[in-house]
Amino acid sequence: MLLKESQHKLVKLPAWRRRLLLVVLLSSFMLLLARGFYLQTLHKDYLIKKGEAFSRRKVVLMPHRGKIYDRHLKPLAISLPVESLWVNPTDVQLSTPQLKQMASLLEMSPKVLQQKLRTPKKEFVYIKRRVAPDVAKQVMAMKVPGVFSQKEYKRFYPAAEVAAHIVGFTGVDDTGVEGMELHRNALLSGTPGKRDFVQDRKGHVVEDLVAVTLPHDGQDLVLSIDRTVQYVVHRELSRAVEKHKAKAGAAVVLDAKTGEVLALVNIPTYNPNNPVNVSSKLRNSAIVNIFEPGSTMKPVTAAAAMEFGDYLPDTKIQTAPGFLHIGAATIHDAHPNQVLSVAQVIQKSSNVGSAKMALSLDKEKLWNTYIQLGLGSATKIGFPGEAAGKVRDYKTWRPIEQATMSYGHGISVTLLQLARAYTVFANEGELLPVTLNKLAEPPVGRQVFSAKVANDVKDMLELVVQPGGTALKAQVTGYRVAGKTGTAHKLGEHGYEQDKYVGSFVGMVPASNPRLIMAVMIDEPNNGEYYGGSVAAPVFSAVMTDVLRMLVIPQDGQALPVAPTVAPAEAVKEAM
């Protein structure tokens, strides 16, 4: 009885303690209610976001990038399907054996893979991009929670180095980085789609929250390039650069009737399928580099002299004794001559004869001729980084500058501009626009010279390839060739470099009715030869020997025009 009374006294609490306990319990309950009210009303956005972070996913659906074709629909750039693997690091549950297995499949070190899986404060991390579909399938077969596969595309370039500077390449996000991939990126890219869904903790899709937005594939692009011609030019230009131990080389082939670029090659080049450490090879020299064209400008001077002066092809000019003083400067001919006709000035590439013709012309008309030919302004071919070249305002010309520009010194052009300028001699004085896109119909040109003057100059250019001319190595068996060589010292920091040259040649064939125009430039040949007739003209000959046959262009190898005879001294025109 005493024991029971004692126990009863132990469990019985004082009134104040019972009240305190009741207050604590009620207060705790009220705090929980307040907290619940706060989280479900005032702070519900935060909870929703946290919940979505664990279960809701947004995936971009990549469009198929448009293909790039040559003019005959041979592929230059195509996209192949690949997979990209990604994770939400907070969801990944990966055992040590699984880590090693996945790293082995992806050809990664387990340490690097584990670092990606432990990326802090990120809910989307790529494990590896552009994985072969069969490899991605093996990884997904491991059924690791939190590991996902996303379809993407990898760009492939069948022509590789041959067309690299035209086509360019894309980056890891399938966005154009160089060339036409960059210039026409908006057209080729298309529009991405998206998918917004809820997943469970094992990565299974529970529900699509909204309708899936399908991607819109990019458009295909058909270039004017002929992949076969491109290959031949690449082969022959590579051989020339190697043979002459040159720093670089470039070549452009145009359709003489449309201005379409059939081939555009630069050496050195790179492989766009694996563009690693290629920064020094990315420049498209034919379009973005400028150089002094040298004697390839003399036909333009002769055309201007006949168009705006009182010259004819057989007008005689005294070039003896092989040099000409202009103020304190002196112009020299590489090989002194006596009396030469205008045609022979072009054939023998006389600086003195060309300078005398230029000095006899109104300098504004000569300047306007250069401008009308598109020199000093970009061709608007649409290629990234295209250079405009440089033609100084005629108001600043001194006599020596007017003279030297007549044979391509003191003026700068791109190789594409130079090739385009020669379209006037192939089309009876009409300058054509140039394009890298295949045309559905002939373009509208601009008349620069009269048809007679242009044809007369074309005949003169045939003499350059005949005995007595500077481009015997440009001949093509069975075809008449018209063209002009050029050799110029390179400009350095302190003026012209005496031991560095640019050798060039621009030609057209068949000369009776030109179908193709080709401009070749060899930069800093360093193996004993540097004249355009020795280093650049043979490239033209080798390329055209194959291309004319491949394009089934009829031969026109009839008798060539005969150089005008030299007139008596009293008939000589002292053009100064």
What string of DSSP letters covers 120-157? TT-S-EEEEEEE-HHHHHHHHTT--TTEEEEEEEEEE-
238 given a catalytic annotation: no
Q: What is the 3-state secondary structure (H, E, C) of 521-545?
A: EEECCCCCCCCHHHHCHHHHHHHHH
Could you identify the residue written with the tokens 């004085």? 429
Rounded Cα distance, 273 and 324, in Å: 54
Q: What is the DSSP letter of 335?
A: S
The rounded Cα 132 to chain-centroid distance in angstroms is 28
Q: Which residues, 6 or more positions from 237, have their beta carbon under 8 angstroms from its beta carbon? A: 249, 250, 251, 265, 267, 520, 539
Q: In terms of Cα–Cα distance, which of 494, 498, 510, 380 is closest to 458?
A: 510
Half-sphere exposure of 364 (CA within 13 A, CB side): 1
Selected catalytic residue, list 84, 189, 295, 349 = 295
Three-state DSSP at 239 gives helix
Rounded Cα distance, 429 and 514, in Å: 13
Residues linked to residue 559 through DSSP beta bridges, in sequence order: none
Q: Per this entry, what is the length of the chain?
A: 576
Rounded Cα distance, 211 and 214, in Å: 9
Q: What is the DSSP letter of 486?
A: E
78 close to 158: Cβ distance less than 8 angstroms: yes
What is the CB neighbour count within 10 angstroms for residue 280?
Answer: 8
Q: Which residues, 6 or more positions from 530, have their beta carbon under 8 angstroms from its beta carbon? A: 244, 487, 501, 503
Rounded Cα distance, 442 and 422, in Å: 17
291 close to 502: Cβ distance less than 8 angstroms: yes
Which residues are marked as active site?
A: 295
